[in-house]
A and B are shown apart, each in its own frame.
Chain A
Amino acid sequence: MSKHSPAEYGLLAPEIAGPAAIQAFRKLDPRSLARNPVIFSTALVSLVATVLAAREAMAGGPNAFIGIQIAVWLWFTVLFANFAEAVAEGRGKARADAFRATKSAAKAKVLASLKDRTAVSARDIARVEVGELILVEAGDTIPTDGEVMEGVASVDESAITGESAPVIRESGGDRSSVTGGTRLVSDWLVVRVTARPGETFLDRMIALVEGAKRQKTPNEIALDILLAGLTLVFLLVVVTLPAFASWSGTQVPVIYLVALFVTLIPTTIGGLLSAIGIAGMERLVKANVVAKSGRAVEAAGDIDVLLLDKTGTITFGNRMADAFEPAPGVSERELADAALLASLADETPEGKSIVELARRRFDLAPAPEADAQFVPFSAHTRMSGVDLPGGEAIRKGASDAMAALSGAPLSPAVDQIVKRIGSSGGTPLVVARDRRVLGVIHLKDVVKPAIRERFAELRRMGIRTVMITGDNPLTAAAIAAEAGVDDFLAEATPERKLELIRREQSEGRLVAMCGDGSNDAPALAQADVGVAMNTGTPAAKEAGNLIDLDSDPTKLIEIVLVGKQLLISRGALTTFSVANDVAKYFAILPALFLAAYPGLGVLDVMGLGSPQSAILSAVIFNALVIVALIPIALKGVRYTPASASALLRRNLLVYGLGGLVVPFIGIKAIDLLVDLLHLA
């Protein structure tokens, strides 16, 4: 997906892992730990364990060696969690640094008014207010976001989009928006500043990938609460255990209770939660989408209805020749021949497509005659064509214009063809040689290849697609059927679009749409997920909650996937984390109470070396599993569009059942190693 060259590091590349390791220690700062209740509890308990182990060591107690090891591994648990977060942040930061490098240090050329482009005063961009005018000239980097007020220029936007071909930016219309950090290749522009210093697009992107201003998303908050609840339950379980143990006269060393507590609380998901969030945002930025809030990304995973503009999204937006339909008494070949000659010098997409169709149908090779005179299309004549040296004149054009040209109404047969093409959503182009009508070229709005499959994919995910078009209902229905959308809105106006969104929402559905024009702004704001094209007007960009730098309307599908993957990763790792506890009980409980009730050895299904090694192995497993899952947290759990039931079945099997089984194997393996090294 990405066209970015910088900052494509391996998951745990040394450039990232090195600083992250240091960062993991810095994050031991209580203020930083306090943001994550599970890991904060772990750190507190590690501190207690350290004190206990130190006291035991000084007193020369029997549990000193095992106590110190447990304390060390508890700290590792915290550090590994910090490390996971730091790696995610580090990867984001690498990307942010690449963005930051494009920020211009040069002073902005501030204009006093539009009238005089020479009255320029240089000023630091940090002190340029919204609404002020600045001049940007060829070779300059545009210092901040803005709207073009005057001028036409080509802009190199590769710094943010990765697309190397320069794009045209001009005042008025839907290409008036410029982004800070991009560079003017030619000409000049007068730009009205639209972003406050520090709040430009680039700044937002940097903040987003660095996770600096990351706010917890709604589902993340809910999950946090659930994890805190589970932590409390386990706190009660562990705190009351000494009383119940005392019933049989068993004294459980506090260090073991500490170990039990940390292995039971959901440290795995707790440790990886923020890494999952940051990595999700980074995946989004990698897809060249900037989210104004994490909420929008999550909402993208929830949407039920996707509104898509027909032109440019579903169809190429250019009408292309689809068939030659000759008049009675004319062969198709003859019509194609004439159409080809008339279009050879025609540089419009329609003209090119006619040449292409003629080549495809009859293998007609284009052989332009040297003295042929091309007659370009004009709004006045509404036709184009060619005057051949032999005096022949070939014309193609709108049916009424051609009728006027031939001086007589079109023959009923041709008229019928024209009407039929029109009613099917196509455009008829009548061809005449020396005023004799040869037939009609069927121009059609061509649906993009593979878009049908994409819609089918969305349907499997439970998302309904609605095509929005200004066409009449007949045309719209034809294209909708061809593209495979579920529904369409024909003769759309901004008001009808807004009304459609409101209606869907009132029925409880979440609606996503993308748009670029100013008239899209109300609908973008109303939609639950509004993706604004970066080429769009400032109003549209302001109204949307996501901005696509590639200005690719099908990007919404990508965003939906990222949103879903974010939730799935959290859910899967939570399930895994909780399921792990079963095995940990089977390791630790017999170890604690074997002395009092030797029969409890039946619970020791893993056959662990000794009570000490069992507890130590469980603690070590608990710490290492965080590291082992960092790649999954960063890449996200694999997601292929499928029905909810299929997804759940798969994830329950992998992460639920896997979560039950894996720790039995892991703890046993670690126990063998611990025994081998005589650590306990």
Chain B
Amino acid sequence: MDNDLLQFALFFALLIAIAVPLGAYMAATFAGDVRFLAPVETALLRAAGTAATTEQRWTSYALALLAFNAAGFALLYLVLVFQDVLPLNPQGFAGLPAHLAFNTAISFVTNTNWQSYGGETTLSNFSQMVGLTTQNFVSAAAGMAVAAAVARGLAARQSKAIGNFWVDLTRATLYILLPGAIVLALVFAVCGMPQTLAAAFDATTLEGGRQTLAVGPVASQVAIKQLGTNGGGFFNVNSAHPFENPTALTNFLSTLAILAIPAAFCFTYGRMVGDRRQGRALFAAMALLFVAGFAAIYAAEQAGNPLQAGLVDAGTGNMEGKEVRFGVLGSTLWASATTAASNGSVNAMHDSFTPLGGMVAMLNIQLGEVVFGGVGVGLTGMLLFVILAVFLAGLMVGRTPEYLGKKIEAREVKLAALTLLVMPLGVLVLAALAIAAGTAQASVQDAGPHGLSELLYAYSSATGNNGSAFAGFSANTAWHNTFLGIAMMLGRFGYIIPVLAIAGSLAAKKTAPATAGTFPTHGALFVVLLLATILIVGALTFLPVLALGPIAEQVSLIAGRTF
């Protein structure tokens, strides 16, 4: 317990130690001050028919992003459907069925990395490396570009431009993701993660039996899956697989890598808007939510299953579905990080957590992926809540609400209010639809409220662009592949487009200087208001279903009732 606390404290201290300088570096990157690959950058941009000096309005920026994602989707879809005729397919896997290819393509383009397929039994090396890993990089870079554009919009003074999508995309990939992934992949390989183009090898087990073990270019894909809040594993069981997460060190580094860039974005933002206190305030809000979420999951798992009280050693907590190597701390810290940061990789099965532990992981996602969140988009998601909180705060102090000197008016409120609909639409409406159609009942593994949790988790994970699976939900059906795909699109573009529109509209506004009558958005008071806004919106939206799912399950467990 004390050891766990110490580990967590160390983890958190290291996270801050990484995030602050990384944030500064990323700010410099998006400002164009990092130039060590300038020739490559210029060549790439010239090939794309643009230049670093070309500025875009928010509409062109959003259109460029949409076009890029549409092209990426089409390419990936084709690669997956025709992987049987493409090279690097040593196991001779067949092409994917249309609905699975659709789901997977959407999943990787939207940085969700939800896996309806089992990686090592479905996809060729070509599909993994050329198809998925490409999107692992560029979908993350696209999210980072959005954050950079939004920060620019807030910092701009009566300007129409918010940057250039192609430039931001290129710089995020070249200067942040690629170097980071290369370093991390090498470290992982050193730690024992496979990195090979071979498909599998035969091993003799301790008992003398023979077993075929699948391998492949694991380290390179795992590095970017963590850094880019992707989460799509090489293996079906993700980082619970010993080849994907061989040691305690890779586990610790992976958890750090999950949060590094999302946390650093707070500091990047502070620098880009020219007021570092603003970034620190957002970091504080996210960190508080993260710590609270972790504490809740950890407490729930440490408390264990009430039905097994006295049957197992109380000290070990709930070990069902957890790697013995990682224990409760290693698993719950990962679970909090991966659900907070919209990463989605797992090292334990959330399905096997206690109902309350699983619920908090699910709530992390349902809050809108703003607890650090996905790379870039976590920050912009948080900024949408900032706008709502600022609006209420502004009214309460008797001034037209302002954020960073920009007046928040009907247009911004309209766009921010629109994004409030994304989570209920993607989670509540689509899950209810599946229940009404009967497809939900057919896909869940467990009876009773736990089955409902499995369904809710799947649609929350898709809409939140998280991609982690609760497990226990057979998503690979035509219905769920299609609707989860829709949920992923909704959860990605339903936030990105409005937030870019807000950035465009704020960029054009005058910046009013702060006075004693302006409400400071970097203090503790504002952080409290922001947290209250996030929690109340999340709670009001999801309390009824959570009561019917995990809460009902937990109270039934306590009463000794199983389903």
Give the B-binding residues of A (Cβ under 8 A).
Answer: 218-219, 221-223, 225-226, 228-230, 232-234, 236-237, 239-241, 243-248, 264, 298-299, 301-302, 304, 459-464, 507-510, 563-568, 570-572, 574-575, 578-579, 581-582, 585, 589, 593, 596-600, 602-603, 639, 643-645, 647-649, 651-652, 655-656
- The answer on a CB contact under 8 Å between B399 and A575 is no
- The answer on a CB contact under 8 Å between B547 and A593 is yes
Docked CA distance A464–B512 (Å): 14
- Looking at the complex, which one of B392, B414, B520, B544 makes contact with A574 (CB distance below 8 Å)? B392
Given contacts A582-B536, A589-B543, whether A572 and B420 have CB atoms under 8 Å apart is no
Given contacts A243-B435, A264-B540, A568-B397, whether A226 and B513 have CB atoms under 8 Å apart is no
6 interchain residue pairs of minimum CB distance: A462-B517, A571-B395, A599-B555, A564-B398, A229-B417, A462-B515
Check: B409 CB closer than 8 A to any chain A CB: yes
- The answer on a CB contact under 8 Å between A218 and B409 is yes
Docked CA distance A264–B544 (Å): 12
- The answer on a CB contact under 8 Å between B555 and A597 is yes
Docked CA distance A299–B543 (Å): 39
- The answer on a CB contact under 8 Å between B409 and A599 is no
List B residues 113-148 near A (Cβ within 8 Å): none
- The answer on a CB contact under 8 Å between B421 and A232 is yes
Residues of chain B contacted by A655 (CB below 8 angstroms): 396
Given contacts A463-B515, A643-B516, A644-B399, whether A222 and B409 have CB atoms under 8 Å apart is yes
Chain A minimum-CB-distance residue to B547: A589
- The answer on a CB contact under 8 Å between B515 and A304 is yes
- The answer on a CB contact under 8 Å between B424 and A237 is yes
Chain A minimum-CB-distance residue to B418: A229
Residues of chain B contacted by A645 (CB below 8 angstroms): 519-520, 523, 525
- The answer on a CB contact under 8 Å between A567 and B540 is no
- The answer on a CB contact under 8 Å between B432 and A567 is no
**Which of B393, B397, B408, B549: most chain A CB closer than 10 A?**
B397
Check: B425 CB closer than 8 A to any chain A CB: yes
Q: 12 new A-B pairs (CB below 8 Å) besides A248-B552, A585-B544?
A: A218-B410, A222-B410, A229-B417, A229-B418, A241-B544, A244-B432, A245-B548, A462-B516, A571-B396, A599-B559, A643-B516, A644-B520
- Looking at the complex, which one of B392, B409, B512 makes contact with A510 (CB distance below 8 Å)? B512
**Which of B452, B520, B555: most chain A CB closer than 10 A?**
B555
Given contacts A222-B409, A225-B417, A244-B435, whether A509 and B395 have CB atoms under 8 Å apart is no
Query: What is the minimal beta-carbon distance from A464 to any residue of chain B, in angstroms?
Result: 7
Docked CA distance A563–B395 (Å): 11
- The answer on a CB contact under 8 Å between A508 and B428 is no
Docked CA distance A278–B157 (Å): 36
Check: B324 CB closer than 8 A to any chain A CB: no
Docked CA distance A412–B443 (Å): 107
- The answer on a CB contact under 8 Å between B547 and A644 is no
Given contacts A226-B391, A237-B428, whether A244 and B516 have CB atoms under 8 Å apart is no
Check: B476 CB closer than 8 A to any chain A CB: no
Query: What is the minimal beta-carbon distance from A227 to any residue of chain B, in angstroms?
Result: 9
Query: What is the minimal beta-carbon distance from B261 to any residue of chain A, in angstroms?
Result: 30
Interface string of B500-523 (1 = CB under 8 A from A): 000000000011110111111001
Docked CA distance A409–B559 (Å): 109
20 contacts between A and B (CB under 8 A): A223-B391, A229-B421, A233-B420, A233-B540, A240-B428, A240-B545, A244-B549, A246-B435, A247-B449, A461-B516, A565-B398, A567-B394, A567-B398, A571-B392, A581-B536, A581-B540, A599-B552, A599-B554, A644-B518, A652-B528
Query: What is the minimal beta-carbon distance from B430 to any residue of chain A, in angstroms?
Result: 9
Query: What is the minimal beta-carbon distance from B134 to any residue of chain A, in angstroms?
Result: 36
Check: B551 CB closer than 8 A to any chain A CB: yes
Residues of chain A contacted by B517 (CB below 8 angstroms): 304, 461-463, 643-644
- The answer on a CB contact under 8 Å between A243 and B436 is yes
Residues of chain B contacted by A462 (CB below 8 angstroms): 515-518
Query: What is the minimal beta-carbon distance from A121 to any residue of chain B, in angstroms?
Result: 51
**Which of B399, B409, B420: most chain A CB closer than 10 A?**
B399
Chain B minimum-CB-distance residue to A560: B398
- The answer on a CB contact under 8 Å between A460 and B516 is yes
- Looking at the complex, which one of B417, B515, B529, B554 makes contact with A648 (CB distance below 8 Å)? B529
Query: What is the minimal beta-carbon distance from A559 to any residue of chain B, in angstroms?
Result: 13
- The answer on a CB contact under 8 Å between A568 and B558 is no
- The answer on a CB contact under 8 Å between A644 and B516 is yes
- The answer on a CB contact under 8 Å between A567 and B395 is yes
Interface residues on B, range: 35 or more
Residues of chain B contacted by A603 (CB below 8 angstroms): 547, 551
Main secondary structure of the interface of A (DSSP, over half): helix
Check: B400 CB closer than 8 A to any chain A CB: yes
Docked CA distance A563–B541 (Å): 33
- Looking at the complex, which one of A226, A244, A461, A507 makes contact with B545 (CB distance below 8 Å)? A244
Check: B405 CB closer than 8 A to any chain A CB: yes
- The answer on a CB contact under 8 Å between B555 and A508 is no
Residues of chain A contacted by B452 (CB below 8 angstroms): 244, 247-248
Residues of chain B contacted by A229 (CB below 8 angstroms): 414, 417-418, 420-421
Residues of chain A contacted by B397 (CB below 8 angstroms): 564, 568, 571, 644, 647-648, 651
- The answer on a CB contact under 8 Å between B540 and A585 is yes
- The answer on a CB contact under 8 Å between B516 and A648 is no
Chain A minimum-CB-distance residue to B519: A644
- The answer on a CB contact under 8 Å between A652 and B398 is no
Query: What is the minimal beta-carbon distance from B458 to any residue of chain A, in angstroms?
Result: 14
Query: What is the minimal beta-carbon distance from B528 to any residue of chain A, in angstroms?
Result: 8
Docked CA distance A218–B510 (Å): 17
Chain B minimum-CB-distance residue to A229: B417
Check: B532 CB closer than 8 A to any chain A CB: yes
- The answer on a CB contact under 8 Å between B394 and A508 is no
Check: B413 CB closer than 8 A to any chain A CB: yes
List B residues 425-480 near A (Cβ within 8 Å): 425, 428-429, 431-433, 435-436, 448-449, 451-452
Residues of chain A contacted by B405 (CB below 8 angstroms): 508
Residues of chain A contacted by B429 (CB below 8 angstroms): 236, 239-240
Given contacts A243-B436, A648-B529, whether A225 and B414 have CB atoms under 8 Å apart is yes
- Looking at the complex, which one of B413, B424, B512, B515 makes contact with A222 (CB distance below 8 Å)? B413
- The answer on a CB contact under 8 Å between B424 and A575 is no
Check: B539 CB closer than 8 A to any chain A CB: yes
- The answer on a CB contact under 8 Å between A234 and B400 is no
- The answer on a CB contact under 8 Å between B432 and A223 is no
Residues of chain A contacted by B421 (CB below 8 angstroms): 229, 232-233, 236
Query: What is the minimal beta-carbon distance from A584 to any residue of chain B, in angstroms?
Result: 10
- The answer on a CB contact under 8 Å between A509 and B400 is no
Chain A minimum-CB-distance residue to B556: A599
Given contacts A237-B541, A508-B405, whether A243 and B432 have CB atoms under 8 Å apart is yes
- Looking at the complex, which one of A219, A241, A248, A651 makes contact with B449 (CB distance below 8 Å)? A248
Docked CA distance A225–B388 (Å): 12
Chain B minimum-CB-distance residue to A217: B400
Chain A minimum-CB-distance residue to B455: A247
Residues of chain B contacted by A507 (CB below 8 angstroms): 513
Residues of chain B contacted by A240 (CB below 8 angstroms): 424, 428-429, 431-432, 545
- Looking at the complex, which one of A221, A301, A593, A649 makes contact with B399 (CB distance below 8 Å)? A301
Query: What is the minimal beta-carbon distance from B420 to any residue of chain A, in angstroms?
Result: 5
